Amino acid sequence: MSGGIKFGMDGTIWIGLRATAEGNPWLVLDAAGVPIGHVLLPANVVLLQASRQRIWGSEQDSDGLRSVVSYSVDYRANRSGPG
């Protein structure tokens, strides 16, 4: 699932873009609306909550079971996906 807007726990704004074959891309803005990076989540992960350093999501496995997952984000090391 892609799209939508999420407001991060630290004032960031997360804008979900159209899903691609690679996964679900999110554009991340600071509280002033200035782009600070983007993140590509796996196709089976739904973003639930986020901040500049951490993403919380719900991941569905091949049996349809959902689990809570957490990613640490380092924009300096990897601007295209979870760290």
Chain segment 22-50, per-residue pLDDT in tens: 999 999 999 999 999 999 999 999 999 99
Handedness of CA 59, 71, 51, 41 (dihedral sign): negative
The residue extents of the domains of the chain are: 4-72
pLDDT at 78: 45
Tens digits of per-residue pLDDT, 6-22? 999 999 999 999 999 99
- In single-letter form, the type of residue at position 45 comes to V
